[in-house]
Amino acid sequence: MAAVPTVASPWVPRGMALLLAVMATLPLWVASIGLYQYLGVEIAIWMIYGLGFNLLLGYSGLPSFGHGAFFGVGAYAFGLFQAWAFESLLLGMALAAVAAFVAGAVVGCFLSHRRGIYFALMTIAFGQVFWFVAIKWHTVTGGEDGLLNIPRPALELGAASVPLNSNVALFYFVLFVLAVVAVALWRLVHSPFGKVLQAIRQNEERARFVGYNVWLFKWAVFALSAAIAGLAGSLFSMAQQSAYPDVMSLHASGVIVMMTLIGGGFVSFWGPVIGVAVYFLARDVLGAVTETWLLWFGLVFVLAVLFRPEGIAGAWQEYVGSVPSAGRRNRGTEAPASHIER
Amino acid sequence: MALFEARGVHKRFGHQVVLENIDLSFESGRLSGIMGPNGAGKTTCFNVLTGRYKPDRGRVLFDGEDITGLSPNAIACRGIARSFQTISLFDEYSALENVLIALPEVRERGFNMIEPLSGDGADADRAAAVLARVGLAGRERRRAGDLAYGERRALEIGVALAAAPRLLFLDEPTSGLGVEATARLSEMVRELKHDYSIVVIEHDMQFLFGLADAISVIHWGQVIARGTPDELRENKWVQRSNLGRP
């Protein structure tokens, strides 16, 4: 595999099928290990969020510290649609994604000529603007309390109507959305668009001089990533049956960055997926032992950034790479396509 | 009519005038040279001509079209490609991918988010042919960042060639190369001359005098002499300014 320059990738790679299959069995055993069904919903939602976020951070090298804004926009848009228009699952989700896309597109206009630290600072500033608006615009957002009693509309499939009121039903719906997003993004990162994004991360100037409109690519990926965050936000508002400003705070925006980095978003498509799982398991397992779990998790994060910036996925790749096997004999001399693909 | 023309180009940074009233013209099918000592304004000149900087005054014409002040990508899309003095590659990509991403056929599909960009097929064949042309056959799958310096220099030109440019700018292609590598590069550029219109910046005079059809000498931000290599050898300015000697 590694010897082929650009692997023509299958629609659903083995790792993805395995992940989804394992997750599909989650409701059967999650209670028996002392956890609970809602955790699966949360993890799957944040995996969607993380995969979309890593399109920016890992693939395009654009650090956004205000992505919670778009997650929040999606959550509010979904809630407001149900309250003001009518109850509809798919329309509400579509609207949430569109609203976040538009918000991302507008913000992207101000960001796309920036990079590195300036880009990061601007995303913080815009994130704070959205957060502030959510808190202050009482008549629409409900202020600090947020929107309450957001329904979980049933999934209408022609004649059949599947209620999503139980956490297990909602979990399977979210898992389905996760599968769709994962397949779509897997396609995207192997497409010319995805390759150009990675080229821009590696050398923005050269990308410009070989003829790519770098601004437009950054703008597009920012808006797209925002739309996916909004989609995840709409699911979150259903899960929580409320939408509140907390998810738009700088703290919440930082959490998704942390998850993506710990998991290894810079070296693997699966980085954010791993990071999300590790974060939530740490929260519930460590959290059961000590109230200061976030302190310990934060320390691990600091150590990871210092000694293993490639995250868990990077450590795994290194481990797998150090085990000699027939298929990998050429590793030393033959470069993999671009190591983020594995 | 010349393929490429700069008329009265002026560029300053703050109070520093870097280019003053530069007139240049490059003919189709020729290899034109720009020479001058370090700090003379050669690279700035290249940067203005290829769109990195906008000139303060003057016009830049490509094939009769005014391209003054266009963005680098707009200029690249019109068929002008350049290499960089300081090597500028996509280091995590393989040599093949570096060229692949620069192909016009791939560029046109830049916003395709669904079809995979694959390492086999027509695009990859084209990219491999470009690599062979710059002497990197067999190195396709090596990471650009892991290539030897001389190979990176060659790939630097390969990425520019991938665009199938109508005009190819090479910025100090021999920079950092030893005698042997420079000789090999010289052979390669001589081959490229058959198929491309080329502009080369150099301060390696032997290299340039052996290849160029016409040379412009830039000093203190001005064109102080121009002509064929033979004419310039006779030029008092050039002799006096220590440029003609190896």
Best CA proximity match to B158, nearest among B209, B232, B82, B60: B82
A257 domain-assigned: no
Contacts of A195 (CB under 8 A, 6+ apart): A6, B97, B100, B101, B106, B117
Question: What residues of A are in contact with residue B89 (Cβ under 8 Å)?
Answer: 203, 206
Interface of A with B in 8-47 (CB under 8 A): 8-9
Give the number of residues written for chain A: 342
| pLDDT of A14 over the 90 cut | no
Whether residue B59 contacts residue B6, with contact meaning beta carbons closer than 8 Å, is answered with: yes
| pLDDT of A198 over the 70 cut | yes
Candidate from A192, A194, A339 with C-beta closest to B92: A339
A286 domain-assigned: no
Contact between A191 and B114 using a beta-carbon 8 Å cutoff: yes
From CA A1, how far away is CA B141, in angstroms rounded? Answer: 12
With CA atoms as reference, the chain B residue closest to A59 would be B92
What per-residue confidence (pLDDT) applies to A131? Answer: 95
Q: Chain B closest CA to A210's CA: distance in Å?
A: 6
With CA atoms as reference, the chain B residue closest to A199 would be B90
Residue A328 forms contact with B (CB below 8 Å): no
Q: Chain B closest CA to A58's CA: distance in Å?
A: 13
From CA B114, how far away is CA A191, in angstroms rounded? Answer: 6
Candidate from B111, B117, B159 with C-beta closest to A190: B117
Question: What residues of A are in contact with residue B76 (Cβ under 8 Å)?
Answer: 208-211
A91 three-class SS: helix
> With 0-12 CB in 10 A as exposed, 13-18 as middle and 19+ as buried, what is B220?
middle
For A27, the token pair is 């409701």
A338 domain-assigned: no
| pLDDT of A339 over the 70 cut | no
Q: Look at strands B57-62 and B65-66 and give their pairing.
A: antiparallel
Domain range enclosing A115 = 26-248
What per-residue confidence (pLDDT) applies to A342? Answer: 43
| pLDDT of A294 over the 50 cut | yes
Q: Chain B closest CA to A298's CA: distance in Å?
A: 30
Looking at beta carbons, which pairs linking A108-117 to residues 24 or more positions away fall under 8 Å? A108/A218, A108/A219, A108/A220, A108/A222, A108/A223, A108/A226, A109/A219, A111/A62, A111/A218, A111/A219, A111/A222, A112/A215, A112/A216, A112/A218, A112/A219, A112/A222, A113/A215, A115/A61, A115/A62, A115/A204, A116/A63
A263 domain-assigned: no
Residue A206 forms contact with B (CB below 8 Å): yes
| pLDDT of A337 over the 60 cut | no
**Rg of chain B over all Cα atoms, to the nearest angstrom:** 18
How many CB atoms sit inside 10 A of residue B5's CB? Answer: 18
A264 domain-assigned: no
Which of A210, A219, A221, A340 is best to mutate for the B interface (most B CBs within 10 A)?
Answer: A210
Identity of the residue numbered A132: F
From CA B51, how far away is CA B109, in angstroms rounded? Answer: 23
- Please provide the DSSP assignment of chain B as one string: --SEEEEEEEEEETTEEEEEEEEEEE-TT-EEEEE--TTSSHHHHHHHHTTSS--SEEEEEETTEE-TT--HHHHHHTTEEE--SS----TTSBHHHHHHHH-HHHHTTTT--SS---SSSHHHHHHHHHHHHTT-TT-TTSBGGGS-HHHHHHHHHHHHHHT--SEEEEESTTTT--HHHHHHHHHHHHHHTTT--EEEEES-HHHHHHH-SEEEEEETTEEEEEE-HHHHHH-HHHHHTT-S--
A268 domain-assigned: no
Question: What residues of B are in contact with residue A7 (Cβ under 8 Å)?
Answer: 118-119
State the angle between helix axes of B179-192 and B122-133 in degrees (0 to 180), rounded to the nearest 10.
130
Lowest-confidence pick of A53-62, A66-75, A126-135, A314-323: A314-323
Question: What residues of A are in contact with residue B106 (Cβ under 8 Å)?
Answer: 192, 195
What per-residue confidence (pLDDT) applies to B243? Answer: 53
Q: Chain A closest CA to B105's CA: distance in Å?
A: 10
A160 three-class SS: strand
What is the rounded average pLDDT of the residues A53-57? 95
Contact between B50 and A202 using a beta-carbon 8 Å cutoff: no
What is the rounded average pLDDT of the residues A42-56? 96
A176 domain-assigned: yes
Contact between B88 and A208 using a beta-carbon 8 Å cutoff: no
| pLDDT of A125 over the 50 cut | yes
**b/e per residue A286-312 (b: at least 16 CB within 10 A):** beeeeeebbeebeeebeebeeeeebbb
Weakly modelled stretches of chain B, pLDDT under 50: 244, 246
**b/e per residue B117-140 (b: at least 16 CB within 10 A):** bbbeeebbebbbebbebbbbeebb
First to last CA, chain B: 34
The alpha-helical segments, DSSP class H, found in A55-191 are: 68-84, 89-111, 116-136, 138-141, 167-190
Candidate from B81, B117, B143 with C-beta closest to A191: B117
Residue A198 forms contact with B (CB below 8 Å): yes
The dihedral sign for the CA sequence A203, A205, A210, A214: positive
Total domains in chain A come to 1
**b/e per residue B16-45 (b: at least 16 CB within 10 A):** ebbbbebebbbeeebbbbbbbeeebbbbbb
From CA B24, how far away is CA B99, in angstroms rounded? Answer: 30
What ipTM was assigned to the predicted interfaces of this complex?
A: 0.91
Question: What residues of A are in contact with residue B159 (Cβ under 8 Å)?
Answer: 206, 210
Q: Confidence class of residue A4 from pLDDT cuts 50, 70 and 90?
A: very low
Identity of the residue numbered A299: L
Contact between A192 and B88 using a beta-carbon 8 Å cutoff: no
Residue A214 forms contact with B (CB below 8 Å): yes
Q: Confidence class of residue A328 from pLDDT cuts 50, 70 and 90?
A: very low
Q: Confidence class of residue A213 from pLDDT cuts 50, 70 and 90?
A: very high
A239 domain-assigned: yes
A147 three-class SS: strand
From CA B155, how far away is CA B92, in angstroms rounded? Answer: 13
Best CA proximity match to B49, nearest among B83, B4, B90: B4
Candidate from A187, A212, A335 with C-beta closest to B94: A335
Candidate from A5, A191, A209 with C-beta closest to B119: A5
From CA A244, how far away is CA A144, in angstroms rounded? Answer: 7
Question: What residues of A are in contact with residue B100 (Cβ under 8 Å)?
Answer: 5-6, 195
Q: Chain A closest CA to B203's CA: distance in Å?
A: 23
The enclosing H or E element of A233 equals helix A214-240
